[in-house]
Structure 1
Amino acid sequence: MDFSLSDEQKLLRKNTAEFLEKNLKPFVREIDNNGEIPMEFFRKAGENGIISPLIKLKYGGPSLSFMDSVIISEEIARIDTSMATSVYYLLNTSWAYVLQKYGKQELKDKLLPEIANGSKFIGIASTEPSGGSDVANIKTTGRIENGKVIINGEKMYISGAVEAKKNGGGHLTLVKTKEGVGHKGITMVYVPANADGIEITKLNNMGRMGISTSGIKYTNVEVPEENIIGEINEGFYYSMDGFNHARIMVAAACNGLSYKMLEEGLNYIKERKAFGKHLSDFEAISFEAADLRTDVEMAALLNYKAAYLADVEDPDFYIYSSMSKLKSPQIAMDTTKKVMMWFGAYGYTKDSGIEMAARGIFSYLVGAEGALNIMKVIISKAILK
């Protein structure tokens, strides 16, 4: 069993960190304040193969592995601790993967090169006002007639809708195409955000301000039948495959944030003095640091296993990706909270940057590719079957 990264992966981490330090770090606070990631960053990231790394060479992507993608995800979260860029990245990575795996050739030839070069966004639209994790009971309909899919309904809490409408792109959208059969009557369709009949309402989040969260209303939206992903009425299974893989990217981002917060915290307690001693000399803090470092390392190793199993197409990989999604956000939140407490009053100010991380990581606790209790349902069913 080899826990080391290959020379190529070490170089990937180094080059990604250097690219992000130059092209993303100077804009992080501006992104959080203004609510927008510069489009120029995505173009440069596309040129460097780190905006949708699973896309194959024949579509203009770098054809990297899930483990490679985890490395990139960790580095993005270390730089943009608001988690906004991490969300954009995980969507572009995971749902481009689904499009590449199940989409029709014409659609792949059209969209994947533009996603790979950073000029277009792709996300998932499954959550509805009536429920999030209960994908099988969606209400949005897709009527297929005369070579078109006509969509009516509403989605809620959808990431990237504003960006897709402004800059190009859209969402793999789940629609009901057969009534009375639950999840066996759901179809996945690629819907461009600028299609006629789409109304986007931006919601105001508490954090990760650089990527929008919106409601999307569909009123007789028409897209060509070629935009159907895979087979009709099989969309539920494609979405579950996508979520299972996306959870690896979610956990990787959380782990990257944990590493960054802990790094900042350790540097601070080794320098800051109170009562004539460094904070690191107090066992209440040093023991807490030991626990945090152990937790972060465990979370990262679990995530690496999930990525490895995804790369070798082990059918049980989804158990480990769910475990990663269960633990990594909680550990990242705990790490951020405790580091903020080490910093004291300064940690609560915007000057520290820790508050930005605290606001961002909450989005991964409450949802993002499945709520924590849903992860427990998945894991328990797998281990008890």
Structure 2
Amino acid sequence: MKFEIMRHRLLDGLNDVMKAVSSKTTIPILTGIKLELTDEGLKLTGSDSDITIQTIIKAEEDGEQVIRVIEEGSIVVQARMFNEIIRKLPTSDVEIEVKENYHTHIRSGKSKFHLIGQEASEYPLLPEVLDDRQFVIPADLVKSIVRETVFAVATSESRPVLTGVLWQVKDGELTCVATDSHRLARRKISLEQALEGEYNVVIPGKSLNELSKIIGESSQPVNIAITNQQVLFKTEDVSLYSRLLEGNYPDTSRLIPTEYKTIVTMNGKALFQAIDRASLLAREERNNIVRLSSLEGNTVEISSSSPEIGEVEEEIQSTSIEGEEIKISFSAKYMMEALRALDGHDVIVQFTGAMRPFILNSVHDDTVLQLIVPVRTY
């Protein structure tokens, strides 16, 4: 195998696949990256067996030669070392040549490196993904779904299925739900092409975060294919395979109230900032608890106190308050993350009592729902 490549394009590809490489893997070859060279270009693959990322650098892009292919072939090279070497090479062109016994030579300017690689055929094969369970979502919408849900997954492994986001496809609609049992985030979208049948899969939160990073500012559509154990997200140049989490995801639809005793409409940014200020005192306490109370004249009071430090109270004007008066306590962190997911828009907060879960929606868009379980403080 022998080729010359533009260094910045090789670095772009490495940036993607390195996201999947872990030094903690129990399979030694997965500490490496697989390079496969054909006339069409260079394919890079990185994996930790949970996530596999593959990217293709085309030999020619927009009429410009990116890779000069001299001899086709494949090799596995030690990922972190190879990445560091390419990053620190002195010129913008790199020549890579693999000789017998997997000896890999890297040249750039007057700099020469020699690495010992491994047989590419020992690298695990990618799972087969069928075409009949695929749908397409625009890149910016995929990023929105991740931003609006993933923060609510569980961080504890005590219930592994809750560390993922449930993606449910039914009747031409995709519903994404995340919960750690103290709060819940849900996003619904209509699919442009309806899939036959129903699918319920749980995708690890970590995989979705990596997907969001890979998409970056891209405007390409993302092709999504589901199998029994894997999901594949594919853009024009990059494929991300993720294993699915096993286990039954709880039926969260019963958690969401259908009747409300108090409905408050207000500016989401003002509410976020008031809670942020109140949490300055709450943060010193272990639980980071803030209180919300409705007052006369469409006013809401946000307050917090700490026996050792002091207390804070702030009144905010709401657009409207309907129904019974409310006094409720909740985690400042959960509330701020929910409001951040609603992106500073005017919000409707609907309460069913001081000890019942309450929900937040954007005034303009009910496809995003955030639910928080309050905290008993008396």
The TM-score, its normalising length taken from structure 2, stands at 0.22
Higher helix residue share:
1
Higher strand residue share:
2
The TM-score, its normalising length taken from structure 1, stands at 0.21
Greater RCO, 1 or 2 (C-alpha within 8 Å, sep 6+): 1
Over alpha carbons, which structure has the higher Rg?
2
